[in-house]
């Protein structure tokens, strides 16, 4: 199972502990996390199921290519990191 982690800034706003999750794609892995934490879905995805503009997902340090369908492939050895962008002055 892939490991999915959320940055400290994101965890500060909503409970999102690291998890080992099944899934062949980023979408499937996130859906597994959302099954136990439905509030997190609305924070990360818009009403169409796409990543919100302020969220970025990396697989093994590389940004995912598909921010709409979240179809980037995962293997059991992958590490997924979910970032929330920071803004301000």
Locate 13 and state its tokens: 């706003």
* Dist. CA 12–CA 16, nearest whole Å: 9
In this structure, are strands 79-84 and 55-59 parallel, antiparallel, or unpaired? antiparallel
Q: Are 63 and 14 in contact (CB under 8 A)?
A: no
Give pLDDT tens digits for 39-79. 999 999 999 999 999 999 999 999 999 999 999 999 999 99
**Which of 3.40.50.11540, 3.30.70.520, 3.10.20.30, 3.20.20.70 would CATH assign to domain 2-84?**
3.10.20.30
Which strand (E) or helix (H) includes residue 19?
strand 19-21
pTM score > 0.85 for this model? yes
Q: Are 76 and 45 in contact (CB under 8 A)?
A: no
Q: Structural domain boundaries of the chain?
A: 2-84
């Amino acid at each position: 199972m892939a490991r999915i982690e959320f940055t400290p800034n994101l965890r500060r706003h909503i409970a999102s502990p690291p998890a080992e999750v099944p899934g062949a794609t980023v979408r499937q892995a996130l859906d597994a996390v959302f099954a136990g934490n439905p509030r997190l879905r609305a924070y990360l995805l818009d009403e169409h199921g796409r990543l919100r503009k302020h969220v970025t997902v990396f697989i093994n340090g590389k940004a995912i290519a598909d921010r709409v369908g979240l179809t980037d492939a995962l293997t059991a050895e992958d590490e997924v990191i979910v970032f929330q962008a920071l803004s301000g002055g």
